[in-house]
Amino acid sequence: MKHPSMERTSKQKLAFSLFMFGTIGIFVRHIPLPSSVIAVARGVIGTLFLLLYLRRKRQSLSVADIRRNGRLLLLSGVCIGVNWILLFEAYRHTTVAIATLCYYMAPVFVILASAFLFREKLTPLKGLCLAGALLGMLLVSGVLQNGFAASSDATGILLGLGAAALYASVILLNKYLKDISAMDATIVQLGASAVVLFPYILITENLSAMALSPAAAVLLATVGILHTGITYVLYFGSMQVLKAQTVALYSYIDPLVAILLSALLLKEPLGAVGIVGAVLILGSTLLSEASEGRRS
What CA–CA distance (Å, rounded) separates 20 from 59?
26
* Total structural domains within the chain: 1
> 82 with 159: CB under 8 angstroms?
no
Q: Does residue 179 come out as left (phi exceeding 0), alpha (psi in the -120 to 50 range) or beta? A: left
pLDDT of residue 288: 76
Alpha-carbon separation of residue 64 from 36, 71, 178, 195 (angstroms): 31, 13, 11, 21
> pLDDT 10s digit of each residue in the chain, 296 long?
556 678 888 889 999 999 999 999 999 999 999 999 999 999 999 999 999 999 998 888 999 999 999 999 999 999 999 999 999 999 998 889 989 999 988 888 888 888 787 777 778 888 888 888 888 888 887 766 666 554 567 889 999 999 999 999 998 898 888 888 888 999 999 999 999 899 989 988 888 888 888 999 999 999 999 999 999 888 888 877 787 667 777 888 888 999 999 989 888 888 888 889 899 888 888 887 766 655 55
pLDDT of residue 291: 67
What CA–CA distance (Å, rounded) separates 210 from 202?
12
Handedness of CA 128, 131, 135, 137 (dihedral sign): positive
What CA–CA distance (Å, rounded) separates 47 from 53?
10
What CA–CA distance (Å, rounded) separates 113 from 241?
29
Where b means 16+ CB within 10 Å and e means fewer, 262-290 reads: bbeeeebebeeebbebbebbbebbbbbbe
pLDDT of residue 217: 93
pLDDT of residue 7: 84
What CA–CA distance (Å, rounded) separates 252 from 249?
6
How much helix, strand and coil, in percent to the nearest 5, is found in the chain? 80, 0, 20
pLDDT of residue 2: 56
Exposure of 87 by Cβ count < 10 A (0-12 exposed, 13-18 middle, 19+ buried)?
A: buried
pLDDT of residue 131: 87
C-alpha torsion 31→33→36→41, nearest 10: -70
Q: Which helix (H) or strand (E) holds 175?
A: none
Parent domain of 204: 4-295
Other Cβ atoms within 10 Å of 149 Cβ, number: 7
- pTM of whole model > 0.85? yes
Three-state SS at 60: coil
